Structures are given as C-alpha cells and as structure tokens.
Amino acid sequence: MAPPPRAASDARGRAALRALNHEYNTQIYFPTPPTNLVNFGEAINFPLIFGLIVVLFGMATLLHLLPSSLNRRRRDVGLLKALGLFRRQVAFSVAWQTTTLAAIGIVIGVPIGIAAGRAIWSAFADNLGVGTQPVVTVAEIALLAVGTLVVANALAVIPAVIAARERPASLLKSE
C-alpha cells in the first residue's frame, strides 16, 4: 500500500489542497500533530530532562576520572616536582588534562549526538506526521561547548589544588 500523498504547508500546498477540495467536492486538511505527542511535550520536557541526566553523568565521570588519574600518576607528578615543577605548573597540568578530555568529548560526542538525534527524531516524527526540522542552532552548540569546558575546569580546581600541595617526597614513596 502506497503512503498517502503529502502537501507542503506553504502557499502552494494550501492552493493544491483547495484545488483538490474543489475538484473532488470534499474537505482535505493538513495533518495535525497527534494529541498524545502534544500532551507528552507539554507535560514533560523530555529532552531537557534527558540532557540534564547526561550532564550529571558526565560530571560524575569527570569527578571520578580526575582523582583516579592523579592517583595513578602520583610518581610522575612527584618526579616532576622534585625536578623543579612549581605548584602553579602542576595545577595547570591538571587543568590541561581536563580541558583535553572535555575537548575530545566535544569533538567526538557533539557530531555523533547530532547525527544520532536527527536520525532517531526523523524516524519517530515521520511515523507521527510531524515536522522534522532541526531546532538546535550553531550558537547553542557553541554555547554548549564553552559551557562544557568551563564546567570541566571548575570541577578540576579541587583535584588540581590537592595535587599542587602534595610534597614530592610523599608522592615518590613506595608503598
């Protein structure tokens, strides 16, 4: 069975529907979004909630990763401090590590997320007969990237201070 014909919602589409209505002496309307979908969108802001959950898990992962990586690299940090690295330089190395991890996440995650989200939404929306136009702008993506870098570096402040304050001798001792 062939899918029903679709009409554009612009002036040409409305004119075509008027012509069909007149020709077949019937009334044809543009499809409207299903009420279940509209009610779901009004009652629960699912994309926002899902986004906040992803942000929360990302922050938790970063909060676990930073102390774990610093603990694994204790000897390296101790050796660098014994060779003359200043506290400020240790803190900056932690900040650069965090910035690098966040940047890799942005460079890989944003395109994959956009492609997957668009494909899933297109499949979902086509079955419901609603619009599939993207609603995320380049400015929002840039704001997301900058916000990710700022939050990641804010989360790195405490581990950076702790690593900078450690004495080389305590970092180099064997257990």
Rounded CA-CA distance 103/159 in Å is 19
- Report, as an integer, the average pLDDT of 27-41: 64
Q: CA-to-CA distance for 80 and 134, rounded, in angstroms?
A: 49
Whether the predicted pLDDT of 44 surpasses 70: no
> pLDDT value at position 174?
62
Q: What's the burial of 106, exposed, middle or buried (CB within 10 Å: 0-12/13-18/19+)?
A: middle
125 membership: H or E segment, kind and range? helix 87-128
What average pLDDT is seen over the chain?
A: 81
Reply yes or no on whether the pLDDT at 31 is more than 80.
Answer: no
d(CA 165, CA 157): 12
User: Which single residue is written with the structure tokens 């494909």?
Assistant: 119
Q: Is residue 4 very low, low, confident or very high in pLDDT (cuts 50, 70, 90)?
A: low
The number of angstroms, rounded, from the C-alpha of 16 to the middle of its chain's C-alpha atoms is 41
Mean pLDDT of 106-111: 92
Exposure string for 10-21, b = 16+ CB within 10 A, e = fewer = eeeeeeebeeee
Q: What is the structure's pLDDT at 9?
A: 64
The pLDDT assigned to 75 comes to 84
- Which residue has better confidence, 146 or 33? 146
Distances in whole angstroms, Cα of residue 68 to Cα of each of 65, 77, 122, 159: 5, 13, 40, 10
- Please determine, for residue 112, whether its predicted confidence score (pLDDT) is greater than 90: yes
Confidence of residue 23 (pLDDT cuts 50, 70, 90): confident
Tokens at 19, concatenated: 């012509």
**pLDDT value for 53:** 92
What token pair was written down for 67? 């102390």
Q: Please give the structure tokens belonging to residue 114.
A: 């956009």
